[in-house]
Amino acid sequence: MGIPRGLGRSYGDASFYSGGYTWDVRGHKALLAWDEDRGCLVAEAGMSLYEVIQRFLPQGWFPIVVPGTQFVTLGGAFASNIHGKNHHREGSFADHVEWIDLFLPSGEERRVTPADPLFWATAGGMGLTGIITRICMRLARIPSGYIHNQVKKAPDWERVLLTLKEEEGKFPYAVAWLDHFHRTNRGIVHLGRWAEISSDLPAAYRKKPFRIYRGAQFGVPFTPPFRLFNSFGRAVISAWYWYRHTEEETVLPYAPYFFPLDGVQKWNRLWGYRGFLQFQFIVPSEEGFRVIWTKLQKAPARSFLTVVKRLGAQKGPLAFTGPGWTLAIDLPNTPEMRLFLKALIDVVLAWEGKIYLTKDSLLDPQQFRGAYPEWQSFWELKVQADPLIQLRSDLSIRVGLTPP
């Protein structure tokens, strides 16, 4: 019994199984085929988005959906059915996958397409329906490796939401940040599109319009015994983030735009030994978002990382996304914070919201069933694929989806 694990970028216990095996799939990362006419690649599921970008960006191709880090495997991206800054236009990762090969506990390997309900149970199914071995996904043609980004600053959080709502339809990428430390929770909206070489790129970038970035040169060498992201540090980062942005249009390379946290290796160590909790919820209504955000203002600690987005619908019995408003927030891992967030989950559920499984470490069985009312359809498909329930994780046990 066990669970597959990719690059381990899920924040909670989704890719661990303490009672048995955790299968590391990172070694299986061969590129198997590339159809340039259709922009379709076939790769082993252990290949990372970083490797896809290194290989295809110089030819003018980019993954259609990317998360906030490129260090995720294709299998992990599919199993969480990740969303990016362009969910309002492009949907989730699985919407751009033509088929997957799924290795079932019976030893059978099955090719699964979007016409099969097992495809949508596996998308967002957190590795519980089989091990994805190969994946066929489409890439997007891009005019350069740079993003034209427009920054809009708003004096309070209500106007941040308003700006996002008014502007997002005009841009392929739209995301906002809220200043959790500020009295009015002012914020910044980033509106992006791929930059055109002739009209957008400054001369310095034009020489190499598809330059690839090799990743962070710096890292945090060890976990300090205390939290460097303490309350003071987090407040300073928030103020710095607000003041370093001015309302202007800029052109920046794809890496700092999509993957800012990849700029420092092992940045999570800055949270010290006790670490942090990432909490991401979605609620259908703006009123629900208002209630939850107002409660978060009274959280035991504040955050400098608050990512707000509007997400569209998603297919699959364990689909996370909307339609609705989502917030992802990093908070210190303390007993008080866990208690606070546990109670906040009930508020999210009261507003018909959900908690993102790949980032969760707090949901209990009752809350899970409240958040994912279609869990029984998922279970039926899982039992067909895995009748002996051999695929199980610490997450699936904690939320009562599988026995321990």
Ligand X SMILES: Cc1cc2nc3c(=O)[nH]c(=O)nc-3n(C[C@H](O)[C@H](O)[C@H](O)COP(=O)(O)OP(=O)(O)OC[C@H]3O[C@@H](n4cnc5c(N)ncnc54)[C@H](O)[C@@H]3O)c2cc1C
How far, in Å, CA of 274 to CA of 171, rounded? 39
How far, in Å, CA of 201 to CA of 261, rounded? 24
How far, in Å, CA of 90 to CA of 301, rounded? 34
| Among 378, 404, 380, residue whose Cα is nearest residue 127 | 378
Binding mask 221-260 for ligand X (x = CB under 6 A): ----------------------------------------
| Among 136, 102, 94, residue whose Cα is nearest residue 391 | 102
Q: Single out the segment in contact with ligand X by CB under 6 A; choices: 8-16, 32-40, 188-196, 362-370.
A: 8-16
Question: Could you give the 3-state DSSP secondary structure of residue 355?
Answer: strand
- State yes or no: residue 80 binds ligand X (CB under 6 A): yes
Q: State which of residues 2, 39, 63, 68 lies at the interface with ligand X (CB under 6 A).
A: 68
- State yes or no: residue 322 binds ligand X (CB under 6 A): no
Closer Cβ to ligand X, 210 or 229, answer by number: 229
Q: State which of residues 2, 39, 63, 127 lies at the interface with ligand X (CB under 6 A).
A: 127
How far, in Å, CA of 48 to CA of 29, rounded? 8
- Report yes or no: 25 and 46 within 8 Å, Cβ to Cβ: yes
Binding mask 28-47 for ligand X (x = CB under 6 A): -----------------x--
How many residues form the binding site for ligand X (CB under 6 A)? 32
Let me know if 187 is exposed, middle or buried by CB neighbors in 10 A (0-12, 13-18, 19+): buried
Tell me how far, at minimum, the Cβ of 15 lies from ligand X, in Å.
4
> 337: phi > 0 → left, psi -120 to 50 → alpha, else beta; which?
alpha
- Output the six-digit token pair for 332: 């210190």
Q: State which of residues 47, 57, 82, 160 lies at the interface with ligand X (CB under 6 A).
A: 82
- State yes or no: residue 72 binds ligand X (CB under 6 A): yes
Binding mask 357-386 for ligand X (x = CB under 6 A): -x----------------------------
- Report yes or no: 278 and 330 within 8 Å, Cβ to Cβ: yes
How far, in Å, CA of 392 to CA of 395, rounded? 8
Q: Single out the segment in contact with ligand X by CB under 6 A; choices: 62-70, 109-117, 217-225, 226-234.
A: 62-70
Closer Cβ to ligand X, 69 or 377, answer by number: 69
Q: Single out the segment in contact with ligand X by CB under 6 A; choices: 64-72, 107-115, 159-167, 176-184.
A: 64-72
Q: State which of residues 2, 5, 157, 367 lies at the interface with ligand X (CB under 6 A).
A: 5
Greatest distance between any 2 Cα atoms in the chain: 61
- Footprint of ligand X on this chain (CB under 6 A)? 3-10, 14-15, 25, 45, 67-69, 72-73, 75-77, 79-80, 82-84, 126-127, 131-132, 261, 358, 393
